[in-house]
Amino acid sequence: MKTRLQFIGPFKVFFLALHLVIMVFPLYWILITSLKPQNEIFTYPLKYWPTNITFDNYINIFKISKFHVYIGNSLLVAISSALIVIVISVLSAYVLARFQFRGHRQIMLAFFATQMLPGFISLGPLYLMMTQLDLINSRIALVLMYTVGLIPFSTIILRGFFQRIPASLEEAAMIDGCSRLVALIRIIVPIMMPGIASTFIFAFVQNWNELFMAVMFIDHDALKTMPVALNSLILKYDVDWGAMSAGTVLSVIPTVFLFAFAQRFIVEGLTQGAVKG
């Protein structure tokens, strides 16, 4: 038995290391491509480290486009939508976790059903709706669509967190004179912070990386989000790989800082937030 465990140990380490290399190498390749001059990007044999490190690609991406504006648009849309999602999902998840009422099960089934349907099915009705509301080429349209798309899943996740918190906590606060809403905000929400932070990060990353809706509903250059700007670097007969790599590295920075800042909440959220039926 001991010999078998000694064999499994190095075997497991090897495959974990292999998996790490496979996951990290594309990020490494994007980074070094962003630091290569144009004449080195297509050289053969491949160079796994640039001979002459340059930041021209980072400078050029701001020269050929309003990349700082695109990043600002993405931040505004992603943060606004994620905050709205959290507020609505916390309230709806609390109701679904604490109360039993007619249609409770049907609402949960409807939420689960929305996660099984591809998003492009609703594209036609959404486009007609936004046209009638005169919201085409508007950041408000993206915020609304992202919010509506994320509320069902976020509610399902947060409902699992609420079900792990004893109802006696807010009942004790209500006995002391708090209303149910005050008890929720002052007692339950602080306990729920790992789950809320994990859900916020999930919503932010989904909004930050979303391309399909942004391409369909935004045409004006000043309103484009960062994924749309990167997609525009794919030309009809060519791809500006240097600028695209530099833009990709810049687009990863906000999410890296967000995950680094909220790492503790994410770990706690993943271990505590199992969905309970």
For residue 249, the one-letter residue type is: V
Measure the CA angle with vertex 128, ends 136 and 226; round to 5°: 35
Tens of pLDDT, residues 12-28: 777 888 888 888 888 88
pLDDT computed for residue 6 by the predictor: 52
pLDDT of 149 strictly over 70: yes
Tens of pLDDT, residues 127-144: 888 888 888 888 898 999
Tens of pLDDT, residues 20-51: 888 888 888 888 888 888 777 777 777 778 77
Total-model pTM: 0.81
The DSSP line for 64-83 is HS-HHHHHHHHHHHHHHHHH
Rounded Cα distance, 39 and 28, in Å: 19
C-alpha torsion angle, residues 186, 83, 93, 277 (rounded to 10): -120
Q: Which two tokens stand for residue 237?
A: 């007969």
Rounded Cα distance, 229 and 23, in Å: 25
Tens of pLDDT, residues 101-122: 888 888 888 888 887 877 777 7
Best CA proximity match to 215, nearest among 119, 148, 132, 108: 119
pLDDT of 203 strictly over 50: yes
Best CA proximity match to 180, nearest among 190, 169, 193: 169
Burial call 251-275: b when 16+ CB within 10 Å, e when fewer: beebeeebeeebeebbeebeebbee
